[in-house]
């Protein structure tokens, strides 16, 4: 599956490969040819990159099988790995869009915690007992979307730097979750919710199916819709995107709304996994999310995103965590290994960007 790409800090995509004001036909045509050439080059490198991620994942599986034997290779453990990857994966899919557009969202973990707490309060659960689990899910999604839109308004219209705006939301959402929960764990007692989201479908947990559905939807949205092409264009060159008729501010608002909504979905999934809402849910998960997106091949500078790579990145980190757990290894060593992987991925991005600059 191909991914939409664009040369770093250059214009590209179907929406902006048009004649801009003041361009003659020859200039516009030359620009379109350059865009096509760049897209083809990135498509080729994307296939190579995803192939490398698959090889890395397989090597991790071999290491896990060699060190933990049948415990690692069992179907039950595979289910554990997929469940571990599910929540991070949903957040990472949405984060891919934001980073592709040249942004960042540090607040997804805190918003997830706030959504899980708000959806599991006594008042919310009392309404859910009468009206069904939809009340809890709707509450979590509304909280997540609301926080995401606040981020989007501050960044797009308030001109606040994304790092600062989302860092403020990280602190505020976590604090509000602690206030609502009173620093206590809120047990989920709504049977209809537990029966629906803790069950299995065709042998896989429901939260894994949610991850798969979100991944497919994310791939389609980024690769086959105008929204995805505009996301790539905004990340590649916001000014060129604006001149091409894209409302960059409004699109940015939508993107942060998307990450907030994903955090709400993650809150529902966390409630299903733990059967409890807590202000500690999602603590530091944003680091794993961003790491998976970067390792998957999405450029931190914006302009190129890959959903397939993100999914592989999430699976790599989930498998790595599981291998360490199976072998009773120190979590500190695991953190060092993750850090080394992230640094290696960033260095590879920089090398790839320099190479493409020279060949352009």
Residue 347 confidence (pLDDT): 75
Asked, for residue 207, whether it belongs to a domain, the answer is yes
Distance CA 170, CA 323 (A): 30
Residue 130 has pLDDT above 60, yes or no: yes
Residue with more model confidence, 50 or 241: 241
Q: Name the residue range of residue 218's domain.
A: 70-359
Residue 92 has pLDDT above 90, yes or no: yes
Mean pLDDT of the residues in the chain: 84
Q: Where are the alpha helices (DSSP H) in 20-121?
A: 25-68, 70-73, 75-100, 108-119
Residue 14 confidence (pLDDT): 36
29-43, 170-184, 288-302: segment of lowest average pLDDT? 29-43
CA distances (Å), origin 52, targets 48, 56, 166, 313, 322: 6, 6, 32, 11, 20
* Mean pLDDT score, 109-137: 94
What token pair was written down for 61? 């599986």
* Mean pLDDT score, 32-40: 44
Give tens-digit pLDDT for 246-265: 999 999 999 999 999 999 99
Residue 28 confidence (pLDDT): 40
Asked, for residue 245, whether it belongs to a domain, the answer is yes
Q: State the pTM of this model.
A: 0.84
Asked, for residue 31, whether it belongs to a domain, the answer is no
- CATH number for the domain spanning 225: value is 1.10.3470
Asked, for residue 150, whether it belongs to a domain, the answer is yes
Residue 350 confidence (pLDDT): 67
Residue 159 confidence (pLDDT): 93
Asked, for residue 148, whether it belongs to a domain, the answer is yes
Concatenated DSSP letters of 183-210: T--EE---HHHHHHHSSEETTEEHHHHH
Asked, for residue 35, whether it belongs to a domain, the answer is no
Asked, for residue 227, whether it belongs to a domain, the answer is yes
Residue 71 confidence (pLDDT): 83
User: What is the number of residues in the chain?
Assistant: 360
Asked, for residue 18, whether it belongs to a domain, the answer is no
Q: Are 173 and 147 in contact (CB under 8 A)?
A: yes
Distance CA 229, CA 98 (A): 13
Count: domains in the chain: 1
Residue 42 confidence (pLDDT): 47
Give tens-digit pLDDT for 174-195: 999 999 998 889 999 999 999 9
Kind and range of the H or E run holding 143: helix 134-156
What token pair was written down for 103? 């942004």
Helices 331-359 & 25-68 angle (0-180, nearest 10): 150
Residue with more model confidence, 7 or 148: 148
Residue with more model confidence, 348 or 93: 93
Kind and range of the H or E run holding 281: none
Counting residues of the chain whose pLDDT is more than 90, the rounded percentage is 55
Helices 331-359 & 285-296 angle (0-180, nearest 10): 40
Residue 5 has pLDDT above 50, yes or no: no
Residue 203 confidence (pLDDT): 84
* Mean pLDDT score, 289-297: 91
């Amino acid at each position: 599956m191909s991914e939409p790409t664009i040369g770093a800090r250059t214009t590209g995509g179907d929406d902006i490969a048009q004649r801009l004001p003041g361009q003659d036909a020859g200039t516009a045509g030359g620009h379109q040819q350059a865009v096509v050439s760049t897209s083809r080059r990135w498509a080729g490198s994307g296939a190579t990159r995803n192939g490398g991620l698959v090889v890395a994942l397989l090597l991790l599986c071999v290491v896990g099988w060699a060190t933990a034997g049948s415990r690692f290779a069992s179907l039950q453990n595979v289910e554990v790995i997929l469940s571990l990857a599910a929540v991070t994966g949903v957040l990472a899919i949405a984060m891919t869009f934001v980073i592709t557009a040249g942004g960042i969202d540090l607040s997804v973990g805190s918003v997830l915690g706030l959504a899980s707490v708000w959806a599991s309060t006594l008042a919310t659960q009392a309404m859910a007992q009468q009206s069904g689990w939809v009340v809890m899910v709707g509450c979590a999604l509304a909280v997540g979307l609301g926080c995401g839109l606040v981020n989007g308004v501050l960044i797009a219209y308030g001109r606040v730097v994304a790092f600062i705006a989302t860092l403020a939301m990280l602190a505020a959402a976590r604090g509000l979750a602690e206030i609502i929960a009173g620093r206590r764990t809120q047990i989920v007692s709504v049977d209809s919710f537990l029966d629906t989201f803790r069950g299995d479908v065709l042998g896989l947990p429901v939260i894994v199916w949610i991850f798969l559905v979100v991944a497919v939807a994310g791939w389609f949205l980024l690769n086959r819709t105008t929204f995805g092409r505009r996301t790539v264009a905004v990340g590649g060159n916001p000014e060129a995107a604006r001149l091409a008729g894209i409302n960059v501010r409004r699109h940015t608002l939508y993107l942060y709304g998307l990450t907030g909504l994903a955090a709400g979905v993650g809150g529902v999934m966390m409630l299903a996994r733990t059967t409890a809402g807590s202000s500690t849910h999602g603590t530091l998960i944003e680091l794993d999310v961003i790491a998976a997106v970067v390792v998957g091949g999405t450029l931190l500078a914006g302009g190129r995103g890959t959903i397939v790579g993100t999914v592989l990145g999430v699976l790599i980190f989930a498998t790595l965590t599981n291998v360490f757990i199976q072998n009773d290894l120190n979590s500190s060593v695991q953190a060092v290994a993750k850090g080394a992987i992230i640094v290696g991925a960033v260095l590879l991005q920089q090398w790839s960007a320099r190479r493409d600059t020279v060949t352009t």
